[in-house]
Amino acid sequence: MKMLLRSLLVICLFSPSVFAASDEALNELLQRMQTEGFTNVLFFNDADRRLAFAHIDKFAPTRKLPASENPYSLSTDIDASLNQVNYTVDGQTFSVNDLLAQEPLMGMAVVQGDTIRLEHYAPDHNPESVWVSFSVTKSFTSTLIGAALKDGYISSLDDTVADYLPRLRGSDYGGVKIKHILQMASGITWNEDYADPESDVAKAGSLQGKALTDYLGNLKRAHAPGEVFNYNTAESNLAGEILRAAIGNNAAEYMNAKIWQPFGMEHDGNWLLTAPYGRETGGCCISASLRDYARLGVFAKREGKLPSGESILPDGWMEKATTPSKGFAGYGYKWWLLGDDAYTASGIFGQMIYVDPKRDIVIAVHSNAPAAVGTDYHKHYRAAAEAIAKSLSDE
């Protein structure tokens, strides 16, 4: 992921369209990036990240996800009592109000059924603001593979990688089943140590296309496929390669055709490309408004059913996608599993779509956490989401 983000911001320095941006602060940031030579968003200060995360399309090439002419209707009936819901972090009790006052929280929406019960934005954020999702995108690359299975572009999740990417035929990756790619359980050796400049993620975490498959084709198996979970940035990018090869089209157009337009996203979004007119990054970087994060969660909660009642996913897909995998009980088909049927799509710096089908609740979060992972803030929004869901179900 670090290499991906470094590449994202290196691209922007050579993109002439960037300087068409009218926002003075954005242009000032871009000028500093050029003159001071810093390009890795992971090392931006909080203020610079607030600009970058909201305007990825000004920093790098993207493919547009246009607003639907028929947005999925979300009514609003704010429940002010949710602000007083208590949650616990490290033995201390806090209220949702405490979370809403935290500077990293850019936006939070709680949707019960099809009704917004809580909606909060930072002063420099609003319902029209889009925000990059990072690894939240992984869950929807997986979902689009489900759609491709339903459409017949993919025959079975037991098909191998080489069935769709023949250039990997004969390699250890070539024989891995698609199902095990979705579970991050390929069994192939991979080092995801971000601090090690010689790690696989440092060398290949941002690769796409032939460069990606050339690198992966040289890696060797450490475990039988499906047995051991090993978080692997490249495998989500590989899932994007499989999707595009299967459908014969780019992923953003398929996202538009299957979900964004027919389900009814309210605002324009975008999907990061590896280069101008290039490939979408399978493991990262759909940008969407907070309400559209929530709509994506409602879509998942409805098991892929459109407002028309038609499902774009195979029967039982979401149940299988959120079933604990053998390698790790907390992971399905690129969804993080919380127990009791709840699950999340999660991204660094505090992006989240929390889905609780039993309680009929979706919670969407935009954040600018002080670090990519592991901060106290991460504990707060996750604990608050679970407490809010439980509170609504107890009413």
Q: What angle do CA 317, 321, 323 make, to 5 degrees?
A: 115
Predicted local confidence at residue 108, as pLDDT: 98
Q: Is the pLDDT of residue 70 over 90?
A: yes
Whole-angstrom distance, CA of residue 145 vs CA of residue 156: 10
Shared domain for 56 and 87, answered yes or no, is: no
Are 203 and 245 within 8 A, CB to CB?
no
In this structure, which amino acid lies at residue 43? Answer: F
CA-to-CA distance for 131 and 133, rounded, in angstroms? 6
Residue 205 lies in a domain: yes
pLDDT grade for 122, boundaries at 50, 70 and 90: very high
Number of domains in the chain: 3
DSSP 36-66: H----GGGS-HHHHHHHHH-HHHHS-EEEEP
When pLDDT is cut at 50, 70 and 90, the band that residue 34 belongs to is: confident
Task: Please tell me whether residues 294 and 376 are part of one structural domain.
Answer: yes
Rounded to whole angstroms, how far apart are CA atoms 389 and 94? 16
Residues 275 and 374 both lie in one domain: yes
* Percentage of the residues of the chain whose pLDDT score is greater than 90: 77
Contact predicate 133/285, CB 8 Å:
yes
In a domain, 249, yes or no: no
| Same domain membership, residue 287 and residue 220 | no
pLDDT of residue 14: 35
- Domain for residue 256, yes or no? no
Alpha-carbon distance of 109 to 261, in angstroms, equals 21
In a domain? residue 117:
yes
Which two tokens mark 38?
A: 């810093």
**What is the model's pLDDT at position 35?**
78
Note whether residue 255 is domain-resident.
Answer: no
How far the first Cα of the chain sits from its last, in Å, is 41
Q: What is the DSSP letter of 306?
A: -
Read off the pLDDT of each residue in 306-316 and give the average, rounded to a whole number.
96
CATH number at 174 reads 1.20.58.710
Mean pLDDT for the stretch of residues 237-263: 97
**Helix axis angle, 290-301 relative to 136-151, nearest 10°?**
40
In single-letter form, the type of residue at position 55 comes to: H
* Band (16; pLDDT cuts 50, 70, 90): very low
Please tell me whether the overall predicted TM-score, pTM, comes out greater than 0.85 for this model. Answer: yes
Give the phi and the psi of residue 340 in degrees, each rounded to 5.
55, 35
Helices H / strands E in the chain, number of each: 15, 13
User: Given the structure tokens 């006052």, which residue do they identify?
Assistant: 101
pLDDT at 205: 80
Question: What's the whole-number mean pLDDT along residues 56-75?
Answer: 94
Q: What number is the average pLDDT over the span 92-99? A: 98
CA distance 202 to 206: 8
Q: Is residue 250 part of a domain?
A: no
Q: Which residue has the tokens 């819901």?
A: 85
The count of residues in the chain is 395
Is 251 a member of any domain?
Answer: no
Cβ(2)–Cβ(205) below 8 Å: yes
Q: Which residues contact 309 (CB under 8 A, 6 or more apart)?
A: none
In this structure, the answer to whether residues 38 and 7 fall within a common structural domain is yes
Say if residue 21's pLDDT is above 60.
Answer: no
What's the domain range around 212? 154-244
Measuring CA to CA, how many Å separate 43 from each of 39, 81, 230, 292? Answer: 8, 38, 26, 28
Q: Are 229 and 331 in contact (CB under 8 A)?
A: yes
| Residue range 241-246: mean pLDDT, rounded | 96
Do 15 and 131 share a domain, yes or no?
A: no
Give the span between the Cα atoms of 45 and 36, in whole angstroms. 14
State how far the Cα of 267 lies from the Cα of 333, in Å rounded to an integer.
27
Six-digit token pair at 243? Answer: 């999707």
Pair (95, 50) in one structural domain? no
pLDDT above 70 for 253 = yes
Q: Which segment of 155-159, 189-193, 309-313 scores lowest on mean pLDDT?
A: 189-193
Rounded average pLDDT over 115-138: 96
pLDDT of residue 2: 44
Do 365 and 280 lie in one domain? The reply is: yes
**Residue 236 and residue 97 share a domain:** no
Determine, yes or no, domain membership for 257: no
Whether residues 377 and 231 share a domain: the answer is: no
Residues 88 and 164 in one domain: no
Instruction: Identify the H or E element spanning 116.
Output: strand 115-121
Residue holding tokens 């803030």? Answer: 377
DSSP conformational letter for 261? I
| Whether residue 382 sits in one domain with residue 287 | yes
Residue pLDDT, tens place only, 345-394: 999 999 999 999 999 999 999 999 998 889 999 999 999 999 999 999 87
